[in-house]
Structure 1
Amino acid sequence: MRVKICGITNLQDALDAIDAGVNALGFVFYEKSPRYIDPFEARQIVDLLPPFVQSVGLFVNESSKHINDICKVSNMQLAQIIDDENNTDFDNLNIKYIEVVRAKSKKDLEQLNKNSYYLIDAFVEEFGGAGKRVALEWFDNVDCSKFILAGGLTSANLKELKDYNFFAVDVSSGVEKSKGKKDKEKMKEFIKSANGK
């Protein structure tokens, strides 16, 4: 299973995540987050990433222009967008994107376009990194092959996902020693578990 580690704030954590076998690194461009990173600082990290490790920028209720500008400055390859307030005009984005669905019930999953990929997170009042899990039974009898699951994941509970065929998993607080600082061993364990080892 593919793994994205979100909330990267420094080069060492990025390198440790890559060493552990991560597929994508997430950079939070939401200023109220404890994991926020300045776009120019993110660029300095991204410029040192090896090939085949994707850079993903996380945005919350931002305009298309803002997302385009920040992604250009920071050299993001993908925008991960929470758009609860309908601020984003997706047709005007210059970058590939994935929408975040902050699920409140199974119905939120059933209404999605079957041809698109989505990141599914648990609904919480704050945005991201709260460690709250989506109820797994909501995914029963649902095709999860285009879903990236986020929220409350750790190496210990990944095995519960094995029958659901998620495209990928996204983790932030589950591999941290403190907010915005990753734990090298937790990242290794998480990716090992995601790969069924």
Structure 2
Amino acid sequence: MVRVKICGITRVEDALAAAAAGADALGLVFYAASPRAVSIEQARTIQQALPPFISTVGLFVDATAEDIREVLAQVRLDMLQFHGNEPDEFCQQFGIPYLKAIRVRPGQDVNEAAAQWPGACGILLDSYRPGVPGGTGEVFDWTMIPVERKWSLILAGGLDAANVQQAITQAHPWAVDVSGGVELTKGRKDFDKINAFIREAKRV
């Protein structure tokens, strides 16, 4: 069964709603330019409120190692997610499993791109928009995802309850990642959309 990550959590009530709906992981955005960014204090409050067996993933975009360590000293993250130009060596230094996001461009060799991060436990494929490191709400061409791959695929980019089954059937990802597709407004989740998304994803 495909795993589901609800990203861009900013409120305790949204985190608890996602957990109750069956989310496997929640994403906390530590990128100040994002409308879904959280402070260390917000993230700690959310993390402490969670029930057991829900993974917390910290999302960073070209943050310094010092900034990441400051977060890790105060928030118990299970995984890191990098959306910038961080090389594999940088991503591995924290001793925590990490995901590397790749924004898929037309004509790109996705396997070749993924090979640049051999230490990643998964590769998250997202839509490309110049200057926007993620959360575009746009779907990319899923036919670009290689059928033969040696890495675990986390599929993101414009997913919602209406298209997630098609995405899973076509791309066969290990997990799907959604943010804007389950929101009322940026940074605030819609509980009905969360439930519908997870229900549709888990039915495949």
Query: Counterparts of 1:87 and 1:40 in 2: how far apart (Å)?
Result: 28
Deviation, structure 1 residue 48: 1.6
Deviation, structure 1 residue 76: 1.2
Residue type at the aligned position of 1:166: P
Residue type at the aligned position of 1:178: T
2:75 alignment partner in structure 1: 74
Maintained 8 Å contact 2:84/2:133: no
Deviation, structure 1 residue 84: 2.2
Residue 108 (structure 2) pairs with residue 102 (structure 1) = no
Name structure 2 gaps, 5 residues minimum: none
Query: Counterparts of 1:17 and 1:138 in 2: how far apart (Å)?
Result: 30
Residue 126 (structure 2) pairs with residue 121 (structure 1) = yes
Residue type at the aligned position of 2:156: A
Residue 168 (structure 2) pairs with residue 195 (structure 1) = no
State how many pairs are aligned. 197
Q: Structure 1 residue runs of 4+, over 4 Å off?
A: 85-88
Query: Counterparts of 1:108 and 1:30 in 2: how far apart (Å)?
Result: 28
**SS of aligned partner of 1:129:** coil
Change (3 A) 1:85 1:96: closer
2:60 alignment partner in structure 1: 59
2:93 alignment partner in structure 1: 92
Deviation, structure 1 residue 42: 0.7
**SS of aligned partner of 1:44:** helix
Change (3 A) 1:110 1:159: same
Residue 51 (structure 2) pairs with residue 50 (structure 1) = yes
Query: Counterparts of 1:106 and 1:115 in 2: how far apart (Å)?
Result: 25
Maintained 8 Å contact 2:111/2:146: no
1:172 alignment partner in structure 2: 179
Bigger mean CA offset, 46-55 vs 120-129: 120-129
Bigger mean CA offset, 34-43 vs 69-78: 69-78
RMSD of the alignment, in Å? Answer: 2.1
Maintained 8 Å contact 1:144/1:166: no
Maintained 8 Å contact 1:145/1:166: no
What is the TM-score normalised by the length of structure 2? Answer: 0.88
2:28 alignment partner in structure 1: 27
**SS of aligned partner of 1:74:** coil
1:152 alignment partner in structure 2: 158
**SS of aligned partner of 1:89:** helix
Bigger mean CA offset, 156-165 vs 35-44: 156-165
1:5 alignment partner in structure 2: 6
Change (3 A) 1:85 1:172: same
What is the TM-score normalised by the length of structure 1? Answer: 0.91
